[in-house]
Amino acid sequence: VFSHIVQAPEDPILGVTVAYNKDQSPVKLNLGVGAYRTEEGKPLVLNVVRKAERLLVDDNSRVKEYLPITGLADFNKLSAKLIFGANSPAISENRVATVQCLSGTGSLKVGASFLGRHYHEKIIYIPLPTWGNHPKVFTIAGLSVKSYRYYNPSTRGLDFQGLLEDLGNAPNGAIVLLHACAHNPTGVDPTPHQWDQIRQLMRSKALLPFFDSAYQGFASGSLDADADAVRKFVADGGECLAAQSYAKNMGLYGERVGALSIVCKSADVAARVESQLKLVIRPMYSSPPIHGASIVATILKNEEMYREWTVELKAMADRIILMRQQLFYALKDKGTPGDWSHIVKQIGMFTFTGLNSKQVEFMAKEYHIYMTSDGRISMAGLSSKTVPHLTDAIHAAVSN
């Protein structure tokens, strides 16, 4: 009965790792998936995470009972506080419904399904380009996906006029997906002033903001600064959704830990929204896993561990910034044709190099360097030792 099934293509991002794993070359380099690596090219478990895990293991009062459908209560409260700020009126007024979800994707999925069922406007605008999984998550939830201009390839910066025009032409009430910071894949974010203009336009047309916050702390090294755009949208009293991931900023990739928050007009609405989120979650995966959320809650509620986390987070962000500088100067010193200043201007985990799919293919074949076909490289996968190899490869690719 399954013989008609056709082979599906690999995922455009995770498939890069599959190709990389098959490569036998000792100099191979994976700059595809956004996963932090140390200067030695190794995955990193934060010290503070190890510490939290030891505390959890030693605590004999801990059991393995099911969590509630909405997840770990402490984790939800602390996650809302992390993104909206400790003094957020939305939190003190109990207007936020937060549920623990399976990392960023799971949070987007639960939010999308909720909107598909309960929100009156089924159109969502996503930036062009955006993370490859976004359109898939929203389409499956029954939303109609449209895009708004975001990136201008000729300036390698924000197409702000295009963005304002497209959102200005969107139907009133449409949902708009916004990257809270460190836009993936372009590394291009609006300035604070541009965020204000976007917010004013969106509020004037009752467009519903849905923030994807996968990199809080990674863009600037500051958890507060990277939540600024979201907090401004909450400060004006309007509604919004926010999907949070702890994959990158706590290095909890495989633990799949994240949260969806829906900021509502009143505590009463938030309680009803939460009751409906439970109806979305229960038939999907019943309730979320306990371990990752317990690690996060342990760290967020302990002042000293929180401080330790911010130091380790800043160190990761700084190493990425250093890699940007090293790559930029290496290309400059080599006289590689083109203006590479966008490498140091873009922020977050990725550089949108401007390399085309043919050049990407060439670099994989000739230099064993892997990246997504749109020319995005994960700066976190790079080290001082591998910068020269990447520089040679880019030089050869653009000189071809």
- Beta-bridged to residue 352, according to DSSP, are 376
> Which candidate, 158, 264, 163, places its Cα nearest to that of 208?
264
The pair phi, psi for residue 163, each rounded to 5°, is -60, -50
CB-wise, 88 or 130, nearer to ligand LMR?
130
CB-wise, 85 or 106, nearer to ligand LMR?
106
> Which candidate, 240, 281, 252, places its Cα nearest to that of 109?
281
CB-wise, 125 or 131, nearer to ligand LMR?
131
Q: Is 309 a catalytic residue?
A: no
Catalytic one of 51, 109, 226, 248 = 248
Residue type, 126: I
CB-wise, 240 or 371, nearer to ligand LMR?
371
Q: Is 212 a catalytic residue?
A: yes
- Beta-bridged to residue 147, according to DSSP, are 126
CB-wise, 13 or 112, nearer to ligand LMR?
13
Q: Is 248 a catalytic residue?
A: yes
Catalytic one of 109, 131, 159, 309 = 131
CB-wise, 131 or 370, nearer to ligand LMR?
131
- Beta-bridged to residue 207, according to DSSP, are none
Interatomic CA distance for residues 158 and 178, integer angstroms: 13
CB-wise, 13 or 72, nearer to ligand LMR?
13
CB-wise, 98 or 372, nearer to ligand LMR?
372
Q: Which residue is nearest to ligand LMR (CB)?
A: 34
Shortest gap between Cβ of 229 and ligand LMR (angstroms)?
A: 19
Please name the residue that has the structure tokens 């999984």: 133
Please name the residue that has the structure tokens 């590479």: 340
Question: CA neighbours within 13 Å on the CB side: how many for 246?
Answer: 31
> Which candidate, 7, 13, 16, places its Cα nearest to that of 368?
16
The angle formed by the CA atoms of residues 303, 308 and 310, to the nearest 5 degrees, is: 95
Shortest gap between Cβ of 311 and ligand LMR (angstroms)?
A: 24
Shortest gap between Cβ of 33 and ligand LMR (angstroms)?
A: 4
Shortest gap between Cβ of 32 and ligand LMR (angstroms)?
A: 7
Shortest gap between Cβ of 348 and ligand LMR (angstroms)?
A: 10
Q: Which residues bind ligand LMR (CB under 6 A)?
A: 13, 33-34, 131, 184
> Which candidate, 358, 373, 99, 400, places its Cα nearest to that of 241?
99
Handedness of CA 72, 76, 78, 82 (dihedral sign): positive
Shortest gap between Cβ of 41 and ligand LMR (angstroms)?
A: 17
Shortest gap between Cβ of 107 and ligand LMR (angstroms)?
A: 13
Catalytic one of 159, 166, 189, 212 = 212
Shortest gap between Cβ of 111 and ligand LMR (angstroms)?
A: 17
Residues marked active site are found at: 131, 212, 248
